[in-house]
């Protein structure tokens, strides 16, 4: 005679409850992941909106117009947050955030102190020095590329600094004592050359 096991199963979880318990950790992880992604997306939208507002407001500075809401240029007070624009062939200005290191970029208009305007990028031509060693002779050569950099106060629109930035490392100023046997390549101006020119004005000491 087979003995039957009789016991109360009323407190045992059903299959549905077991499945729910097994899936609960994954469900909680999914909810947290979606929540985290949503927060990150909102932050990115806020940052993008803030950056757009800064560029929209400061584009006029390249035309020597002031933005009173911007920060005054005070180099003794530490890092001067900066934005940059580059002139296109048709004369329009384009945002050039790549040239400004992230640490130098502002997060609000009120902390934006400087506007860098990069204009008239072109093939550079250099002349051989005349016999006096100072003035230009009629002999010229292509000498890489160069661009005009105009740095303005965002608050006042006034020029802080202006200069020519060359694609050729350590390019001498003025005429050349000798024309090079082979002209430097007509390469793009490295961002590092622009940043090196800009750094003394952005950082804490006056150049």
Query: What whole-number distance in Å separates Cα of residue 55 and Cα of residue 181?
Result: 44
**Per-residue three-class SS string for the chain:** CCCCCCCCCCCCCCHHHHHHHHHHHHHHHHHHHHHHHHHHHHHHHHHHHHHHHHHHHHHHHHHCCCCCCCCCCCHHHCCCEEEEEEECCCCCEEECHHHCCHHHCCCCHHHEEEEEEEEEEEEEEEEEECCCCCCEEEEEEEEEEEEEEEEEECCCCCEEEEEEEECCCCCCCCCECCCCCCCCCCCCCCHHHHHHHHHHHHCCCCC
Instruction: Determine the pLDDT at residue 194.
Output: 98
Q: What's the pLDDT at 139?
A: 94
Share of the chain above pLDDT 70, in %: 74
What pLDDT score was predicted for residue 205? 57
pLDDT(4) > 50: no
The answer, yes or no, to whether residue 32 has pLDDT greater than 70, is no
Q: Which one, of 75, 67, 99, lies nearest residue 202 by Cα? A: 75
* Whether the model pTM is above 0.75: no
CA distance 18 to 42: 37
At 50 the pLDDT is: 77
Please compute the mean of the pLDDT values over residues 22-36 and round it to a whole number: 55
- Residue 47, C-beta contacts closer than 8 angstroms, at least 6 positions apart: 107
Q: What is the pLDDT of residues 125-174, one digit of tens each?
A: 999 999 888 889 999 999 999 999 999 999 999 999 999 999 998 888 88
**Which tokens in the block code for residue 50?**
């803030």
> With bands split at pLDDT 50, 70 and 90, how would you rate the model's confidence at 12?
low
> Which of 39-43, 85-89, 199-203 shows the lowest per-residue confidence on average (mean pLDDT)?
39-43
Mention every residue, 6+ apart, whose C-beta is less than 8 A from residue 94. 85, 86, 87, 88
The residue-averaged pLDDT of 9-16 equals 54
Torsion of CA 92, 98, 104, 105, to 10 degrees: 60
pLDDT, one tens digit per residue, over 91-110 is 999 999 999 999 999 999 99
CA distances in angstroms from 53 to 71, 108, 116, 118, listed in the order given:
15, 8, 17, 20
Is residue 18 over pLDDT 60?
A: no
Confidence class for position 11, pLDDT limits 50, 70, 90: low
Sequence-ordered list of residues with C-beta below 8 angstroms from that of 177, at least 6 positions apart, any chain: 128, 129, 133
Please give the pLDDT value at position 97. Answer: 93
């Amino acid at each position: 005679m087979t003995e039957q096991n009789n016991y109360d199963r009323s407190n045992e979880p059903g299959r549905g409850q077991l499945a729910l318990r097994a899936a609960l950790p994954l469900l909680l992880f999914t909810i947290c992941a979606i929540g985290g992604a949503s927060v990150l997306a909102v932050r990115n939208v806020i940052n993008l909106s803030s950056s757009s507002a800064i560029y929209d407001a400061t584009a006029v500075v390249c035309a020597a117009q002031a933005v009173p809401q911007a920060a005054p240029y005070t180099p003794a007070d530490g890092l001067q947050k900066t934005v940059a624009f580059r002139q296109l062939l048709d004369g329009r200005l384009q945002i050039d955030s790549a040239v400004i290191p992230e640490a130098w970029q502002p997060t609000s208009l009120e902390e934006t102190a400087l506007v860098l305007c990069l204009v008239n990028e072109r093939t550079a031509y250099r002349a051989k020095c005349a016999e006096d060693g100072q003035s230009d002779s009629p002999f010229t050569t292509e000498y890489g590329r160069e661009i005009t950099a105009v740095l303005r106060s965002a608050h006042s629109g006034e020029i802080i600094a202006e200069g020519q930035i060359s694609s050729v490392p350590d390019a001498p100023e003025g005429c050349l004592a000798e024309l090079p046997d082979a002209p430097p390549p007509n390469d793009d101006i490295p961002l590092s050359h622009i940043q090196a020119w800009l750094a003394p004005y952005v950082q804490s000491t006056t150049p």
